[in-house]
Amino acid sequence: MSKVRVVVAGPRGKMGSEALRMIEKQEDLELVACLDHKYEGRKVSDFEELPNLDAIFYSDINNCFQSVKADVLVDLTTPEFGYLHTKTAIHYGVRPVVGTTGFTEEQLQELTDLSEEKGVGVIIAPNFALGAVLMMQFAKWAAKYFPDVEIIEKHHDNKLDAPSGTAVKTAALIKEVRETKTQGHPEEKETISGARGADVDGMRIHSMRLPGLVAHQEVVFGSSGENLTIKHDSFHRESFMTGVKLAIDNVMKLDILVYGLENILE
């Protein structure tokens, strides 16, 4: 059986380095290159904190895909570069598995159209942790019966995007089953701007950023005389790696873009 040849973008990051450690342990995956805006030509093994792998760092994505044969690009970078990398990979016929969050709806639509036009499979998953995927599905189910809902997401203070991709995806899933409803008092007024959080279709998202946190979300439903809270915590980035592997395996069978890991779970 031939190995799936993987390029990782963002190898020195918190998620990218965890992905390298995961790939190193898999017999059916081979790390063939890394994409980083720094350290062109260096090997992964040159970095003490990274696994002992021979793959080379490339700074230019075109040079990378022209020099190395790759099947899958795993992108764990920033919203700006994640989007550019995904687009470029599709053009080269390299299947993107994207964990990077912060894409706009327009960017997601553009990537969906491009993937379909080129027949290149793509998986974009705002959260690779299986528990988080279940939390989102349970929240969607609960929203059918509890239309009053607020999402509280808590992350480490190095996070660039707010609200988190998971919170945005949770709101989108809830929106599929919940009638538009403005929550709170009809005449409520914020005396400090932002106090009620972001407004998505009348439901609220609150984003907390603190050192010490990893990735956490609570979806709180309210009804007369009762509350229901659905909560997920990622305490370590290893929690995302089962999903990254699952996405790499599945993207090889796809010729369209899939948004959300729930769409490939049985």
Ligand X SMILES: O=C(O)C1=N[C@H](C(=O)O)C[C@H](O)C1
Ligand Y SMILES: NC(=O)C1=CN([C@@H]2O[C@H](COP(=O)(O)OP(=O)(O)OC[C@H]3O[C@@H](n4cnc5c(N)ncnc54)[C@H](O)[C@@H]3O)[C@@H](O)[C@H]2O)C=CC1
Closest listed residue to residue 33, CA positions, set 17, 14, 57, 50: 57
- Residue 81 contacts ligand Y per CB under 6 A: yes
In the set 99, 147, 163, 260, which binds ligand Y (CB under 6 A)?
99
Task: Compose the 84-123 pattern: x for residues touching ligand X by CB under 6 A, - for all others.
Answer: -----------------x----------------------
155, 169, 232, 245: which one is catalytic? 155
In the complex, minimum distance from the CB of residue 182 to ligand X, in angstroms, rounded to a whole number: 25
Q: Are strands 122-124 and 257-259 parallel, antiparallel or unpaired?
A: parallel
Among 85, 95, 154, 155, binds ligand X (CB under 6 A): 155
Can you tell me which of 11, 126, 147, 243 binds ligand X, judged by CB under 6 A? 126
Do the annotations mark residue 127 as ligand-binding?
yes
Neighbours of 3 (CB within 10 A): 13
Query: Rounded to an integer, what distance in angstroms lies between the CA atom of residue 164 and that of residue 180?
Result: 21
Q: Calculate the CA dihedral of residues 20, 250, 142, 108 and round it to 10 degrees.
A: 80
Closer residue to ligand Y (CB): 100 or 217: 100
Q: Is 35 in the site for ligand Y (CB under 6 A)?
A: yes
Closer CB to ligand Y, residue 9 or residue 29? Answer: 9
Tokens standing for residue 144: 């059918």
Q: Which residue is nearest to ligand Y (CB)?
A: 13
According to the binding rule CB under 6 A, does residue 13 interact with ligand Y?
yes
Catalytic member of 43, 87, 118, 159: 159
Residue 8, interface with ligand Y (CB under 6 A)?
A: no
Binder of ligand X out of 215, 230, 248, 257 (CB under 6 A): 215
Phi and psi for 265 in degrees, rounded to 5? -85, 140
Task: Say if residue 163 is preceded by a cis peptide, omega within 30 of 0.
Answer: yes
- Listed in order, strand segments (DSSP E) in 156-214 are 198-200, 203-209
Q: Catalytic annotation on 155? A: yes
How far is the C-alpha of 38 from the C-alpha of 9, rounded, in Å?
11
Report the Cα–Cα distance between both ends of the chain, in Å, rounded. 24
Indicate which single residue of 17, 78, 127, 239 sits in contact with ligand X (rule: CB under 6 A). 127
Active site (annotated) includes residue 159: yes
Choose the one of ligand Y, ligand X, none that binds residue 155, judging by a C-beta under 5 to 8 angstroms depending on kind. ligand X
CA pair distance 201, 93, nearest whole angstrom? 37
Place of tokens 């969050």: 101
Query: Nearest 5 degrees, angle CA 31-CA 37-CA 43?
Result: 40
- Catalytic sites, residue numbers: 155, 159
Residues that bind ligand Y (CB under 6 A): 9-10, 12-16, 35-37, 76-78, 81, 99-102, 125-128, 158, 240
Residues that bind ligand X (CB under 6 A): 101, 126-127, 155, 159, 164-166, 215
